[in-house]
Amino acid sequence: MPQSHAAVLVHLVFSTKHRQPLITSDIEPELFPYMATVLRNIDSPSLTINGTPDHVHLLFRLSRKHPLCDVVEEVKKTSSKWIKTKGVSFAAFQWQAGNGAFSIGESVVPALRQYIANQKEHHRRQTFQDEFRTFLNKYKIEYDERYVWD
């Protein structure tokens, strides 16, 4: 086969440092499109992005040219720098060091888009920590609770 083809869908989840509620309604309408632009610029177009004041969910198609770790680093690094330009209250902004990246199939995209779109409603009933533990367990990822949070 002379060409390489790939269809790798990634559900990426990460929080602000110490889960501080820094993604305010003032910054959110600019942040999510900014993240989508970063992803598009590294050949990993977003399908949807949303979150709450303390974390974000991104669904995107992973580029076949860039490893996942580089895509995650670029989105977090670039968006963190951008947020810091948005005023004094964001000067110390940081994302948590880690993240959760979960592979999904094409058939799950509509349900996951809906899930991501309803984050604020969802988190009236469940904390970010409980949600993240659920993902880790669902995907059978072994973890040590002492090293999940920062």
Per-residue pLDDT reduced to its tens digit, 14-66: 999 999 999 999 999 999 999 999 999 999 999 999 999 999 999 999 999 99
Reported confidence tier of residue 146, pLDDT bands at 50, 70, 90 = confident
List the one residue out of 8, 131, 141 whose CA is nearest residue 68: 8
3-state secondary structure of 47: strand
pLDDT exceeds cutoff 90 at 150: no
Query: Residues 6 or more apart from 26 whose CB is under 8 A from it?
Result: none
Question: Domain 9-147 is classified in which CATH homologous superfamily?
Answer: Transposase IS200-like (3.30.70.1290)
Where in the chain are the domains? 9-147
Is 13:112 a contact under the CB 8 Å cutoff? no
Dist CA 119 CA 16 (whole Å): 15
pLDDT at residue number 1: 57
List, as own/partner pairs, every contact residues 70-78 make where C-beta atoms lie below 8 angstroms and the sequence separation is at least 24, other chains included: 70/42, 71/10, 71/39, 71/42, 71/44, 72/12, 72/14, 72/99, 72/101, 74/38, 74/42, 75/12, 75/35, 75/38, 75/39, 76/14, 78/38
Per-residue pLDDT reduced to its tens digit, 61-102: 999 999 999 999 999 999 999 999 999 989 999 999 999 999
pLDDT at residue number 56: 98
User: Which of the pair, 16 or 2, is modelled with greater confidence?
Assistant: 16
pLDDT at residue number 136: 94
pLDDT at residue number 5: 80
